[in-house]
């Protein structure tokens, strides 16, 4: 047996403790798979006294994360601090500067600084593993970068935020509203005290930006991701979706076209019988469409100590075995910088829900506004009658340009009888 | 750019031509990803005159496959001949003996000789890539061996034969019978003229045996796979399955328990709303259950020139980049040889269909036979009445031992009023 791979771990929260537990539980298995032991020699964490239910005797403690990177008894640095800036960024930069490979679960860091970090790692001839940064226990980075290496990927789409998927699933199965279910998710620990990153789509957008770079061999371009969260999805919309044969999911989509690359995160209706329609609760899924492999889907747990630790340690095994690849599949200098395609250029189907005064002529006005922009209606639902009061009117469109739909919506919003801003949810028939 | 990886391809059927086309189409992309060009320098195929719609000028031709392995202008051998014995076996052995890595799509070869080939490759310090041997374009070998390297896998199950899945899907959507749909599948090229390997489950069993070795780090043990095909699945069973909330799939299952490893391929009912329930037509799927990652599913096209070529070339990219791993995750000498667990030890639910004479007392006799073996009924369906004639009676059981069920079936078969051998389909609620 050759010399051990000596690991330094920064950040001992849920995931850090999970990684320590995994390395302990699978000690023999990993030594066999790597041909050498994986040994934790140092950690960095703020609170030394917290009980993490793992044995840290004989492991060096560092109060400062960047100091961990300089510890001569550390061969590889695992960054589990999180956040797009220091101390996580300083630690990763220090490790790379020291020529040490890094394994990180930090999507925010990669979404913001991925291109620079890829170039820095390459210049030093070292690697950054980030399987754990996207879709938890699903080996999607490896699946795209190596498994589909022979393909030009045309599109990726998927469910990348388990918190939102849990909330949307609960809303559907219980009929309750967003605020109510979010509060419960927070109590259960499935959502953060400040849920903004999750429910406003930012976390999914970080992950999409990173996956887009891997899938298409382009520079990470988080700023170009169109982002909408799930706060405005109502129990009413979920019930209508069901009636129309759809599930509402927070979807992340990146698509390559002749014009460039489109990246978007937003609530979306997908057919009930489709693969994504079956992905419920905290599960994540990614579908990649390659020009030779065609569609390949990956489904699994997107978060949690066990699945995330599984991804972190898979990267450590690769490093221990000497299996490396450029971060985004091709050398950093060769990463393309395609034009971002704006969301207004989307072409597809739409669900609209209007709250209108129940009086004669309203539907005619709405229909005229759509017709004026050449938006063609596919189905139309109005239940019950409440003369003189507000009633929901739901319709779906045939394929149309988002720009045209937006013009129609401006006209609809201006109608007297339309009492609330129209709700729009995109429909995708993958 | 360093020197090219020189590729020799044996077998220029559908997949071989697909690989040539892919290497041509993606020449620049692959050179960028590998840091060196991938170049085909030699081929071996019987019929030199056949039009394959690819340019083979400047490529050396070998009449004998093993000769390809000895060509000094070949660095890596791609075996696409198929079949578990010579010439495929001789070619792979010759390549390994020459210290050259091999990429193969040959599940039969690996299922029969995987352990010996793994040992031989290891002794020579070379690699055998076989991503294309299982589940076509789905990167499942990489996903299990590297992506889930940090896990002890508890179970794998999936749909591994696209021909059977296509036939079962067609039977369901059209209501037609097996023989009819098979004939159509043959006419469309989705089934071979001799469909035995596919419809009798042998192909799926080959793939399962190979995946089992990868997932559990054990020697390939094809002889221990319990195999049943789909010939006896009737349109009637498919209709009843639908009514009971199930889809019938040819399922491959490998499960590790304290007693050893169970491997089985057979028709199976899975819930309509489950992920596997949505995998229709020629698609394949594999679900792996790891002790840290939990369940991870992979879905995609299981066959066809494009998807299979995608997998073959992914292996070539790994070889070109120097990314290698032991065939089955651990060194050949460390592969375990667990006890095979017989199918009679299965515990689970069952669907039974009996054709019985419609006369008083028959159901009481059937129920008594089940009760005598402690098999508990969950549901029971008998439609219409045809006094004195044969009618189908369908029932599902609660969880029971297969051995007990078989004893009950022996007693039921012996009943006068039971006119045909009972049909049994296992139920799995994944």
A32, A275, A306: residue with CB nearest B278: A275
Within a domain: B322 = no
CA distance, residue A354 to nearest chain B CA (Å): 31
User: Is residue B265 over pLDDT 70?
Assistant: yes
In a shared domain, residues B268 and B384:
no
**Are A151 and B329 in contact (CB < 8 Å)?**
no
pLDDT category at A55 given cuts 50, 70, 90 is confident
Is residue B287 located within the same domain as residue B387?
Answer: no
Q: What pLDDT shows up at residue B360?
A: 85
CATH number at residue B377: 3.30.70.260
B318 in a domain, yes or no? no
Q: Which residues face A250 on adjacent strands?
A: A267
- Catalytic-residue membership of B249: no
B-chain CB neighbours of A321 within 8 Å are 324-325
Given a contact cutoff of 8 angstroms between Cβ atoms, the answer to whether A83 and A197 are in contact is no
Residue A383 confidence (pLDDT) above 80: no
Contacts of A289 in chain B (CB under 8 A): none
The distance between the two most distant Cα atoms of chain B, rounded to a whole number of Å, is 83
Answer yes or no: is pLDDT of B203 > 90. Answer: yes
- Of B100, B142, B207, B249, the catalytic one is B207
Asked if residue A316 is part of any domain, the answer here is no
The enclosing domain of A12 has a CATH number of 3.40.50.720
Q: What mean pLDDT is predicted for residues A121-137? A: 96
Residue from the list A138, A295, A311 with its beta carbon closest to the beta carbon of B300:
A295
Assess whether B107 and B159 both reside in one domain: no
pLDDT at position A191: 86
Domain annotation covers residue A263: yes
Residue B89, CB half-sphere, CA atoms under 13 Å: how many? 13
If one compares B341 and B63, the residue with the highest pLDDT of the two is B341
| Nearest residue to A296 (alpha-carbon basis) of A305, A304, A308, A288 | A288
- Domain end (from B133, B163, B197): B133
The C-alpha angle with vertex B286 and arms to B283 and B317, in degrees rounded to 5, equals 85
Contact B292 A301 (CB under 8 A): no
- Is A100 a residue whose pLDDT tops 60? yes
Measured between its terminal Cα atoms, the distance across chain B in Å is 49
pLDDT given for residue A116 in this prediction = 95
Query: Is the distance from CB of A105 to CB of A130 less than 8 angstroms?
Result: yes
What local confidence, expressed as pLDDT, does residue A386 receive? 81
B302: CB partners within 8 A, 6+ apart: B135, B136, B137, B138, B159, B160, B161, B162, B165, B282, B283, B284
Q: Do B292 and A309 touch (CB under 8 A)?
A: yes
- Domain-embedded: residue A311: no
Residue A280 CB burial class (10 angstroms; 0-12, 13-18, ≥19)? middle
* Boundary of a domain, candidates B286, B319, B343: B343
Instruction: Clarify whether residues A237 and A283 are in a common domain.
Output: yes
Q: Find the angle CA(B100)-CA(B106)-CA(B112) to the nearest 5 degrees.
A: 95
Q: Check: CB of residue A377 under 8 Å from CB of residue A367.
A: yes
What is the domain count for chain A? 3
pLDDT of residue B190: 83
Q: Which residues pair with B100 in a beta bridge?
A: none
Q: What pLDDT is attached to residue B273?
A: 87
Greater confidence (A297 vs A57) lies with: A297
Is position B323 within any domain? no
Across the interface, do A148 and B30 touch by the CB < 8 Å criterion?
no
Same domain, A161 and A289: yes
- The residue whose two tokens read 């008594």 is B368
Cβ contact B32–A309 (<8 Å)? no
pLDDT range class, residue B1, cuts 50, 70, 90: low
Closest partner residue to B152 (CB to CB) among A26, A307, A316 is A26
Work out the average pLDDT over B41-45. 94
Are B297 and A296 a contacting pair at CB < 8 A? Answer: no
- Whether the bond into B348 is cis, omega within 30 of 0: no
Nearest to A342 by CA among A257, A229, A226: A226
Two structure tokens written together for A310: 């599984």
* pLDDT tens-digit map of A140-188: 999 999 999 999 999 999 999 999 999 999 999 999 999 999 999 999 8
User: Does a structural domain hold residue B320?
Assistant: no
Return d(Cα A415, Cα B95) in angstroms, integer: 76
pLDDT of residue A288: 98
CB atoms within 10 A of CB B110: 29
Tell me the C-alpha distance between B30 and B40, whole Å: 13
Angstroms from A73 CA to nearest CA on chain B? 23
At residue B211, the 3 state secondary structure works out as helix
Q: Classify residue B62 by its DSSP letter.
A: E
Q: Check whether residue A181 and residue A262 sit in a common domain.
A: yes
Q: Do strands A76-79 and A5-10 pair parallel, antiparallel, or not at all (unpaired)?
A: parallel
CA angle A174, A274, B286 (to 5 degrees): 105
Across the interface, of A151, A300, A324, the residue whose CB is closest to B297 is A300
In this prediction, residue B189 has a pLDDT band, given cuts at 50, 70 and 90, of: confident
Asked if residue B322 has pLDDT above 70, the reply is: yes
Selecting from B139, B301, B321 the residue whose C-beta is nearest the C-beta of A325 gives: B321
Based on the fold, state whether residues B359 and B384 are members of the same structural domain.
yes
Of these residues, A89, A100, A142, A207, which one is catalytic? A207
Average pLDDT over residues B280-287: 95
Buried b / exposed e across B306-334, counting CB within 10 Å, b at 16+? bbbbbbbbbbbbbbbbebbbbbbbbbbee
Residue B17 has pLDDT above 70, yes or no: yes
Q: What is the pLDDT of residue A1?
A: 52
Q: How far apart are CA B187 and CA B79, in angstroms?
A: 28
In this prediction, residue B382 has a pLDDT band, given cuts at 50, 70 and 90, of: confident
Are the beta carbons of A301 and B290 separated by less than 8 Å? no
Same domain, B151 and B65: no
Q: B144: nearest CA in chain A?
A: A139
Indicate whether B49 pLDDT > 90.
Answer: no
pTM: 0.96
Chain A interface, best mutation among B28, B158, B256, B293, by max A CB count within 10 A: B293
Neighbours of B297 (CB within 10 A): 25
pLDDT tens digit sequence for A335-360: 999 999 999 999 999 999 999 998 88
How is residue A53 written in tokens? Answer: 């239910």
Render pLDDT for B130-145 as a digit per residue (tens, 0 to 9).
Answer: 999 999 999 999 999 9
What integer pLDDT is reported at residue A382 of this predicted model? 84
Residue that is last in its domain, among A78, A101, A133: A133
Mean pLDDT calculated for residue range B90-98: 97
DSSP letters, A166-214, are: HHHHHHHHH---HHHHHHHHHHHTSS-SS-HHHHTSHHHHHHHHHHHHH
Q: Which of A31, A149, A311, A318 to mutate to test the interface with B (most CBs of B within 10 A)?
A: A149
Average pLDDT of the residues in B240-263: 96
B296 contacts on A by Cβ (under 8 Å): 137-139, 298-301
* pLDDT of A74: 97
Paired residues of A400 in beta bridges:
A348
Tokens representing A158? 């998927």
Measure Cα distances from A277 to A170, A270, B7 in Å: 14, 6, 42
Sort B64 into a burial class: Cβ within 10 Å, 0-12 / 13-18 / 19+: middle
Q: CB contacts < 8 Å between A and B, how many?
A: 205
Cα separation of A146 and A141, whole Å? Answer: 8
pLDDT at residue A31, rounded to an integer: 96
Instruction: Give the tens place of pLDDT for each residue, B123-178.
Output: 999 999 999 999 999 999 999 999 999 999 999 999 999 999 999 999 999 999 99
A209 and A90 inside one domain: no
pLDDT tens, residue by residue, A398-410: 999 999 999 999 9
Chain B residue with Cα closest to A322: B323
Q: Which of B158, B170, B278, B268 is nearest to B211 (CA)?
A: B158
Do B112 and B177 sit in the same domain of this protein? Answer: no
Residue A310 placed within a domain: no
Q: Kind and range of the H or E element at A287?
A: strand A283-290
When pLDDT is averaged across residues B255-280 and rounded to a whole number, the result is 95
For residue A254, the domain's CATH number is 3.30.360.10
Summary mean pLDDT of chain B: 94
B296, β-bridge pairs:
B288
Element housing B103 (H / E): strand B102-104
Q: What is B262-289 written as a DSSP string?
A: EEEEEEEEEETTSTGGG--TTEEEEEEE
Assess whether B167 and B288 both reside in one domain. yes
pLDDT, position A193:
85
Contact, B412 vs B364, CB < 8 A?
no
**Three-state secondary structure along A363-427?**
HHHHHHHHHHCCCCEEEEEECCCCCCCEEEEEEEECCEEHHHHHHHHHHHHCCCCECCCCEEEEE
Q: Do A294 and A165 belong to one domain?
A: yes
Mean pLDDT across B30-52: 89
Please give the residue range of the domain that contains residue B113.
5-133
């Amino acid at each position: 047996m050759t010399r051990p791979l000596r690991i330094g771990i920064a950040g001992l929260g849920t995931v850090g403790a999970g990684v320590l537990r995994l390395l302990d539980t699978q000690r023999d298995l990993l030594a066999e798979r790597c041909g050498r032991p994986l040994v934790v020699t140092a950690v960095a964490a703020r609170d030394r006294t917290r009980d993490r239910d793992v044995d840290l005797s004989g492991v060096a403690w560092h109060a400062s994360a960047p100091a961990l990177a300089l510890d001569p008894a550390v061969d590889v640095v695992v960054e589990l601090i999180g956040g797009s800036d220091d101390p996580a960024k300083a630690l990763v930069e220090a490790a790379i500067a020291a020529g040490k490979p890094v394994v990180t679960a930090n999507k925010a860091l990669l979404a913001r600084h991925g291109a620079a970090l890829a170039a820095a790692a390459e210049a030093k001839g070292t690697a950054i593993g980030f399987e754990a940064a996207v879709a938890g226990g699903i080996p999607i980075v490896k699946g795209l970068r190596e498994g589909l290496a022979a393909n030009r990927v045309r599109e990726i789409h998927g469910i990348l935020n388990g918190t939102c998927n849990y909330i949307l699933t609960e809303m559907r199965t219980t009929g309750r509203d967003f605020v109510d279910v979010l509060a419960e998710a927070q109590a259960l620990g499935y959502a953060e005290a400040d849920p903004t990153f999750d429910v406003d789509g930012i976390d999914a957008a970080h992950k999409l930006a990173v996956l887009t770079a891997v899938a298409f061999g382009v520079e990470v371009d988080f700023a170009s991701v169109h982002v909408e969260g799930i706060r405005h999805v109502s129990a009413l919309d979920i019930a209508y979706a069901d009636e129309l044969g759809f599930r509402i999911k927070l979807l992340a989509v990146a698509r390559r076209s002749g014009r460039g690359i489109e990246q978007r995160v937003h609530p979306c209706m997908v057919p009930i019988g489709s693969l994504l329609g079956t992905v419920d609760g905290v599960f994540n899924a990614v579908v990649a469409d390659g020009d030779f492999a065609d569609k390949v889907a990956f489904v699994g747990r997107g978060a949690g100590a066990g699945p995330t630790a599984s991804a972190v340690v898979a990267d450590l095994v690769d490093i221990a075995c000497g299996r490396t690849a450029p971060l985004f599949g091709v050398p950093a200098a060769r990463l393309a910088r395609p034009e971002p395609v704006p969301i207004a250029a989307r072409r597809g189907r739409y669900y609209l829900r209007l709250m209108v005064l129940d009086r004669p002529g309203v539907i005619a006005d709405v229909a005229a506004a759509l017709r004026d922009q050449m938006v063609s209606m596919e189905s139309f639902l109005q239940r019950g009658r409440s003369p003189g009061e507000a009633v929901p009117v739901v319709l779906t469109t045939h394929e149309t340009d988002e720009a045209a739909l937006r013009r129609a919506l401006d006209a609809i919003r201006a109608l007297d009888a339309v009492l609330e801003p129209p709700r729009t949810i995109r429909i995708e028939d993958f």
